């Protein structure tokens, strides 16, 4: 015997809800049948046809981010409230559920990661597409060299008013959208040059090469980051846009909303 029996019993005692992260249909059906508390599925797609479902915009590889997204979504969708004790079950290795985590929903610092995707002006799929381009750039760089990039997403009219052009806008008269594979290649290509990309609520590429000029006083960004991140944070406080930034210096992807850093991820982990 491992001696862990008591710990495991305590883990599952008196829980109010179960969160299943990307379960198989078989696991979902067994658990839903046997559970006397609500079972909420958190996944990129509702392939199991769950009644209680929270859509993940990406499979956060950082487990804490994944759980945080689920918690914030659960509260927003009113499946749970802050006192709820939750058992999170997920698969981290080959297949089947191999990990359980017990957590009280209120113990989580609310970062706004769910709001960022779901309650932003821009459509969630647009934010996801931008994030995918940025993660792709972060992984490969441009021709093998690390590259930085700044995407401002949503509230494009106001963002354009608070910025100026650094160069000819290659997207001037085009009606192209992020998520189109050809456009994503163009975005990666243009990311070598200075300034920000401005994307509309519906994903239209409004401009490249924008120099952002938001009011920056009072915007706090982590130490060590420079003007690109400052501009990204500040534009999201000055407008209803969000910003997704790839740092050329540390290779991390960061998202800002309402002037705050919402999350940070390492593209190499995706």
Report which of 94, 93, 18, 108 is spatially closest to residue 54, judged by C-alpha positions: 18
Report which of 255, 269, 240, 259 is spatially closest to residue 69, judged by C-alpha positions: 255
Q: Is 212 exposed, middle or buried (0-12, 13-18, 19+ CB in 10 A)?
A: buried
Q: Per CB under 6 A, which of residues 194..213 are in contact with ligand ATP?
A: 194-196, 211-212
249 binds Mn ion (CB under 5 A): yes
CB of 155 to ligand ATP, least distance (A): 16
Q: Which of 83, 96, 157, 226 binds ligand ATP (CB under 6 A)?
A: 226
Q: Are 198 and 159 in contact (CB under 8 A)?
A: yes
Nearer to Mn ion, 71 or 253 (CB): 253
Q: Which of 103, 133, 205, 231 binds ligand ATP (CB under 6 A)?
A: 231
- Pick what 82 binds: ligand ATP, Mn ion, none; C-beta below 5 to 8 Å, kind-dependent: none
Stretch that binds Mn ion, among 44-52, 67-75, 207-215, 225-233 (CB under 5 A): 225-233
249 binds ligand ATP (CB under 6 A): yes
Nearer to Mn ion, 29 or 220 (CB): 220
- Whole-angstrom CA distances from 173 to 170, 223, 226 are 8, 39, 32
Rounded Cα gap, residues 124 and 56, in angstroms: 10
Q: Which of 226, 250, 258, 268 binds Mn ion (CB under 5 A)?
A: 226
Q: Are 151 and 196 in contact (CB under 8 A)?
A: yes
Binding site for ligand ATP (CB under 6 A): 148, 150, 194-196, 211-212, 225-229, 231, 247-249
């Amino acid at each position: 015997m491992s001696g862990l029996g008591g710990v495991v019993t305590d883990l599952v005692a008196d829980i109010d809800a179960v969160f299943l992260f990307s379960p198989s249909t078989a696991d979902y059906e067994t658990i839903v049948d046997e559970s006397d508390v609500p079972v909420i599925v958190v996944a990129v797609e509702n392939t199991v046809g769950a009644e209680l479902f929270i859509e993940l915009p990406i499979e956060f590889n950082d487990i804490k981010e994944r759980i945080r997204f689920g918690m914030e979504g659960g509260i927003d969708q009113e499946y749970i409230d802050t006192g709820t004790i939750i058992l999170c079950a997920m698969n981290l290795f080959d297949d089947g559920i191999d990990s359980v985590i017990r957590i009280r929903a209120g113990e989580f610092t609310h970062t706004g990661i769910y709001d960022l995707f779901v309650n932003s002006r821009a459509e969630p799929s647009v934010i996801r597409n931008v994030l995918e381009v940025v993660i792709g750039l972060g992984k490969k760089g441009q021709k093998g060299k690390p590259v930085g990039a700044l995407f401002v997403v949503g509230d494009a009219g106001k963002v354009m008013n608070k910025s100026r052009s650094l160069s000819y806008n290659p997207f001037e008269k085009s009606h192209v959208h992020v998520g189109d594979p050809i456009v994503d290649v163009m975005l990666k290509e243009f990311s070598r040059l200075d300034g920000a990309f401005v994307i509309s609520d519906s994903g239209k590429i409004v401009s490249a090469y924008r120099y952002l000029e938001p009011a920056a006083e009072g915007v706090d960004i982590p130490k060590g980051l420079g003007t690109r991140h400052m501009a990204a944070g500040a534009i999201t406080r000055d407008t209803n846009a969000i910003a997704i930034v790839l740092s050329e210096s540390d290779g991390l992807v960061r998202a800002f909303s309402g002037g705050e850093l919402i999350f940070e991820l390492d593209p190499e982990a995706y």
